Structures are given as C-alpha cells and as structure tokens.
Homo-oligomer: A and B are copies of this chain.
Amino acid sequence: METKAIGGYFELEIPFGKPLHGGGNCIELNSGRNCLEYILRVKKYTKIYIPFYTCDAVLEPINKLDISFEFYDIDNNLEPIFNYNLIKDSEVFLYTNYFGIKDDFIKNKIQTISGNLVIDNAQAFFSKPIENVDTFYSPRKFVGVSDGGILYSNKRLQGNFKKDESHSRMSHLLKRIDLSAENGYSDFGENEASLEHQPIKQMSNLTKRILSGIDYEKIKEQRRSNFELLHQHLKTENLLKLELDMDSVPLVYPFRTKNADIKNKLHSDKIYCATYWPNVAEWCNEDTNSYSLAREIVALPIDQRYCKEEMNKILYKINN
C-alpha cells in the first residue's frame, strides 16, 4: 500500500465511525446492479425470475450477461404469486424487500420455501442479510452518497476489480445543501446516469468513508417514527395493508390510494415522492397487480431529514 501523506490541504470534514455493513461475506462494490451481476456470474445462473414490480436497473446485468429471465407478478401484500417448485438448480429467484417492510416475509417464509434465492435489499439498507442467501444493497437510496453497492455472498469472483471514483459524481449532493433541491436536480439525473453500464468495481474510498461516518441509530429511529406517524393517520385509508416489523427501517411510507391527484398535489407543494417504478407500466399489462401497485402507491418521504413537522405537513396536504 502507498504511504499516506501527512499534512497539506484538508479533506472534507466527515466524521469517522462504523459502517452499517461488514464482515467476511460482505463485498463492497460500485452499485446495486453490479452486485447482482456479481451474483449471477459467481453462481453461474442460467435463468432468473424477477418481479414486474421492480426497478429496471435489475435488467442491466441480466441483459449484459445474456441470461434468460422470466417475470412474475406479486399479490396485494407485495408477495410473489409463484410456484417455487419451478426453480431449477441452475436458476435463481429474485425477491425485492419492498420499501424495507418485507423483512418478516423474507425471514420466515420465502427463504424456507424458495430454492436458489437472491434478496434485493436496495429498498432495505438496514435489513440484516440471512446466512447463505445472496443479498445486495444500494446505500444511496437511504443516505447521501453518490454510488456504491453492498453484497453478501459466500462465493467470490476471481480477479481484482478496479476501484470506483466518486468525486466527480457528487455535485447534486453538494448543490442540494449549497443552493436548493431544484438546483441540483439535473446533476442528480446525470450522476445517476453515470452509474449505468459500468463494469463491476470496488466501492470508492469516498463512498466508503461517507458510509462509515453516519449515525445509523439516529436514522433508524427517525425513519421508523416518521413512518409510524404517517401510518397512524393513514392506515385506514391505505389500501396497502402493512405493519412495520420490530427491526425494519423503511425506505418510504407506501400509501396506496385510488386518488391519482395526491402525488401531483404534493409535488406542487415541493413534496417530492419517487415513483416505484416508471418501467413497470411498460413491462406488464393493466390487469396485473404490479401495474396497479406501481400506479397507486404514493411513496411518501419519511427519511432522516424530516421529523414530525414535515410529516404533519404531508398529512395536511393529503387531507386538504
């Protein structure tokens, strides 16, 4: 290893702490989709079953490796409508831990009934991996980093991967503080796009460092209490029946509603709800559950940046 310099100009002030993920089976890469590529390559799968209701980034490694895939639909509990007996030895089933609230289903059900399994925890950064189940994460959905993917697997690919660099992908994270959310938005799009079609790389030093300086306990509490506050007021209206497990840390509050106006109304008040996922309507017919879920679930922000005040503002806007 190269000697590190002492003295001279400073680096950005980021606290030193402990990363959320680690251990012998943890592999730090450059993106969630590249974690999936890693799994498909190391396990030499010939086919993957994926939900209609997921992010199209999942298709990137599948197409790249030219692996067959088959879509499945999910039910109103966000659980697969699928005959797991169909999965052959050389095939794998991908399940998404939707909104970070499907921990119980994963732990107590799917892992006991499915054969080869991959858990996509891109929406569940805080969920613990299950032993011997390939599991991947995408930290930038939960915290302010520009890239990075985390994979747990008991098998390793041969060869050394180049280290990713993040410094030129940081402008949206900086502009959001320095200027405003709106001013950094186009940079956000460009920086996200720069993650497409990248080879598997090691996670950058910058992303690693940021991830190791975060107070995760605080984030966990804030997300859970914001979620619970919205749930308390919206659960009767919410067409999605849900319950927050003891340890789950949600991505957003998924509010399923037939009221198509809510998202636009919130948007006009600068309350931005991500769409999960724009590609679903292109992938499946109107008669699938996935189609309806993608159209009807409004992903209300409940993350660590916000507290009671913002949650009440969101509730007010929904009800008025």
Q: Which residues of A contact B (CB under 8 A)?
A: 2-15, 140, 143-145, 165-167, 170-182, 184-185, 188, 204-206, 209-210, 213-215, 269-274, 300-301, 303, 305-306, 310, 313-314
Contact = CB atoms under 8 A, between A and B. Distances in A.
Contacts of A206: 174, 177-178
A274 B13 contact: no
A4 B177 contact: no
B181 A5 contact: yes
A297 to B, nearest CB: 14
A3 to B, nearest CB: 5
Contacts of A178: 165-167, 204-206
A174 B181 contact: no
A182 B167 CA distance: 14
| Listed residue (A4, A181, A188) with the most chain B CB atoms within 10 angstroms of its CB | A181
A8 B254 CA distance: 15
A214 to B, nearest CB: 5
A206 B173 CA distance: 10
Contacts of A14: 13-14, 177
Given A12-B144, A167-B174, 5 more contacts: A6-B270, A14-B14, A15-B15, A165-B179, A177-B205
Contacts of A214: 13
B179 A209 contact: no
B12 A177 contact: yes
A6 to B, nearest CB: 5
A171 B4 CA distance: 19
Contact of A10 (B2, B144, B205, B271): B144
Contacts of A167: 171, 174-175, 177-179
B177 A6 contact: no
Given A8-B274, A270-B3, A274-B8, A215 B15 contact: yes
B9 A176 contact: yes
16 contacts: A2-B180, A4-B180, A4-B181, A5-B270, A5-B271, A7-B272, A7-B301, A10-B176, A12-B174, A12-B210, A165-B179, A167-B179, A170-B174, A177-B205, A178-B204, A179-B205
Nearest to A309: B6
Given A174-B170, A178-B165, A9 B205 contact: no
